[in-house]
Amino acid sequence: MNAIPVENPHVAARHILAHFLAEGYQPTGLHEYRDAQGNPVFWRARCKHPDGRKEIRPFRWNGTRYVPGEPPAPPEGKVLYRLPELLAANPGAIVYVVEGEACADVLAALGLLTTTSGSSSSAGAADWTPLRGRRVRLWPDNDASGRKYAVDVAEHLRALGCTVEVIDIAAIVPPLPDKGDCVDWLSVNLEADAVAIGSLPLVQSAPDAACADTCHRPHVELIRGNSLIPEPVKWVWNGWLAAGKLHILGGQPGTGKTTIAMAMAATVSRGDPWPDHSPSRRGNVVIWSGEDDARDTLAPRLLAMGADMARVYFVQGVREKGERRAFDPAIDSDVLQAELNNIGDVVLLVIDPIVSAVAGDSHKNAEVRRGLQPLVDLAQNQRCALLGITHFTKGTAGREPVERITGSLAFGALARLVMVTAITQARDGEAAKRFLARAKSNIGQDGGGYVYDLQQVELQDFQGVIASSVRWGAALKGTARELLDDAERQDDGQRQDAADFLRELLRDGTQSAKDVYREAGEAGFSVDTIKRAKVKIGVVAVKRGGHFGGGRQEWLWQLPADNCTEGSEGSGQNDAPPSTSSGDGVLPSWSQ
């Protein structure tokens, strides 16, 4: 038996919107969606800032309390707004379909039969069957999303045998402003009534072509500069994560990039302080990973870092025409946006790897920009921070950090903020250190970073489940390039020591590769380090014996003729023919 609510929807709405109200937003509407019997299903609360920003947050009664988000939709789809009124009306009455509850309410106040499915991206998730066979008139908003909404609704209604008409928003007087709707039109037509609205011009074409004609017509959107109100960047983590912006997190393998992202997600879910002790904005987190499993990897890491799992959502797939398929960030941003609208209060969206959002060639700038733009638009519409995870391209040490991001330079260019991770080499008794650095920021200060450590934690309530967690350390100063160079310079220093060792070892004459590796190991150098030093000083490798030469095959190493030229490959410095091997008994990678 459901508990009796201790607060009404109006009080609940203020609690749901509390964060925004504290920032100066004002409540502008509370809209109740009801089922066919008139029972409340969920509510959508609206608020608006004096600078023009708007926020919409759905919430529902879960039997115990009011909670954010819409309830799971039934198989037939989400209920339409003002559904009981639709079912009770004369079946021959014209039904006006608009975008948004405020538009539906203002027309209903004039005695018109109206409905909506909600936002511009909600048409596909709604149950339109109550309108089967009826006469429907669409009033699109005057923008691209409004025209697309009208197209989507018309497609569903025609499939139900509806007669679909479209108000010609290009012909009504006075014309609608950019992004204008019926509320805007009525605000300057104060004497307009139901008869006046019923007399508005319709698109003069066949019903099947009407919506396509008005909604697919090319339309460039312009906005006059003096109508813009400057607004500050809204930070989730001051200087590091910004609402409505794309962020890239890239780095070396083994540095724990995904674990860093989960640490950020855990912080947002609980509203905990960031590494610089600044407060976090608490909210919901949505995560899609094409590489790690939610149950055995991501969720344990979040739990290990104290995440509020009720505020974390994992994208599992897409249900389409009754069948489930894998979520594809390259094509499913629209359906994802519809779900984010249902959840409400999404503060952080994680996509891992971000390259999956590009359907084409991820090394071509134009294709990367086209692929990422829908997600960038989604983040802007939701006003959530979008964090994409990626890797460094191999062999790019020493280059600018943003240029090391895998794929096209457009990944780093389109992102407003790029973060990188790296790990220093253990040296002189000091343990290796991992760090996060800010490589680029178009919206704030770049440079600086934080040391962090990855620790393995066994979850108390889940026996045998061990997960990685992040422990933040000291703040770092310097640019990302300086921090990366410093980390990799330690390896360069070891390589230089190995080069000096190898040069001294071979100065007295030829040595077998086997003996070189043995003596190098005794001196504390790894095989990989010696291989790099071999290339650095141009050691010449000669094969002796084996096959037609008879006896046991052996590789001999010797210094090049000039005995000290660094960077020489040694070609032409010996009488042996060119070898297709690396000179250490291992075939080159392209032949393996």
Name the more confident of 44 and 493: 44
Contact indicator for 243, 237 with CB cutoff of 8 Å: no
User: Number of structural domains, the chain?
Assistant: 3
Domain boundary among 399, 420, 441: 420
Residue 575 pLDDT greater than 50, yes or no: no
Region 97-124 average pLDDT: 94
Instruction: State the pLDDT at residue 2.
Output: 54
Beta strands in 49-177 (DSSP E): 54-61, 66-68, 95-97, 113-115, 135-138, 163-166
Instruction: State the pLDDT at residue 591.
Output: 24
Q: CA 169, CA 180: separation in Å to the nearest integer?
A: 10
Domain assignment present for residue 121? The answer is: yes
Domain assignment present for residue 484? The answer is: no
**Are residues 243 and 387 part of one domain?**
yes
**Are residues 511 and 411 part of one domain?**
no
Model pTM above 0.85? no
Query: Ranked by mean pLDDT, which of 300-304, 317-321, 411-415 comes out on top?
Result: 300-304
Domain boundary among 403, 420, 437: 420
332-350 tens-digit pLDDT = 888 898 888 888 889 999 9
Domain assignment present for residue 357? The answer is: yes
Instruction: State the pLDDT at residue 98.
Output: 97
Instruction: State the pLDDT at residue 161.
Output: 92
Region 89-105 average pLDDT: 95
Region 169-194 average pLDDT: 91
Instruction: State the pLDDT at residue 493.
Output: 53
Comparing C-alpha atoms, which of 35, 33, 57 is closest to residue 47? 57
**Are residues 132 and 77 part of one domain?**
yes
Instruction: State the pLDDT at residue 342.
Output: 80
What percent of the chain clears pLDDT 90, i.e. is strictly above it?
Answer: 46
Domain boundary among 420, 436, 460: 420
The CATH code of the domain that includes 171 is 3.40.1360.10
Contact indicator for 69, 60 with CB cutoff of 8 Å: yes
Q: Quick one: pLDDT band at residue 167, thresholds 50, 70, 90?
A: very high
**Are residues 573 and 510 part of one domain?**
yes
Q: CA 246, CA 235: separation in Å to the nearest integer?
A: 12
Instruction: State the pLDDT at residue 103.
Output: 95
SS3 of residue 213 by DSSP: helix
**Are residues 162 and 16 part of one domain?**
yes
Instruction: State the pLDDT at residue 567.
Output: 36
Residue 386 pLDDT greater than 80, yes or no: yes
Domain assignment present for residue 434? The answer is: no
Tell me the CA end-to-end span of the chain in Å, nearest whole number: 67
Name the more confident of 524 and 133: 133
Instruction: State the pLDDT at residue 571.
Output: 33
23-72 tens-digit pLDDT = 899 999 999 999 999 999 999 999 999 888 888 899 999 888 998 888 88
**Are residues 210 and 264 part of one domain?**
no
Residue 291 pLDDT greater than 50, yes or no: yes
Q: CA 10, CA 27: separation in Å to the nearest integer?
A: 10
**Are residues 548 and 518 part of one domain?**
yes
Q: Quick one: pLDDT band at residue 546, thresholds 50, 70, 90?
A: low
> 390 φ, ψ to 5°?
-155, -170
Domain assignment present for residue 173? The answer is: yes
369-383 tens-digit pLDDT = 888 888 998 998 889
Query: Ranked by mean pLDDT, which of 266-270, 462-466, 506-510 comes out on top?
Result: 266-270
* Least confident residue range of 48-62, 237-251, 294-308, 571-585: 571-585
Contact indicator for 115, 81 with CB cutoff of 8 Å: yes
Domain assignment present for residue 557? The answer is: yes
Region 545-559 average pLDDT: 70
Instruction: State the pLDDT at residue 429.
Output: 64
DSSP type of residue 294: I
Name the more confident of 132 and 204: 132
**Are residues 396 and 515 part of one domain?**
no
Residue 494 pLDDT greater than 60, yes or no: no
Residue 253 pLDDT greater than 90, yes or no: no
**Are residues 285 and 140 part of one domain?**
no
Domain assignment present for residue 440? The answer is: no
DSSP letters spanning 509-560: S-EEHHHHHHHHHHTT--HHHHHHHHHHHT-EEEEESSGGG-S--EEEEE--
452-487 tens-digit pLDDT = 999 999 998 898 899 999 999 999 999 988 888 777
Residue 576 pLDDT greater than 90, yes or no: no
**Are residues 510 and 369 part of one domain?**
no
Name the more confident of 517 and 522: 517
Q: Quick one: pLDDT band at residue 569, thresholds 50, 70, 90?
A: very low
Domain region containing 342: 235-420
Region 130-159 average pLDDT: 92
Instruction: State the pLDDT at residue 319.
Output: 82
**Are residues 244 and 195 part of one domain?**
no
**Are residues 301 and 191 part of one domain?**
no
Region 378-390 average pLDDT: 92
The CATH code of the domain that includes 362 is 3.40.50.300
Domain assignment present for residue 429? The answer is: no
Residue 435 pLDDT greater than 70, yes or no: yes
Instruction: State the pLDDT at residue 10.
Output: 93
What percent of the chain clears pLDDT 70, i.e. is strictly above it?
Answer: 86
Residue 407 pLDDT greater than 90, yes or no: no
The CATH code of the domain that includes 586 is 1.10.10
Region 94-99 average pLDDT: 96
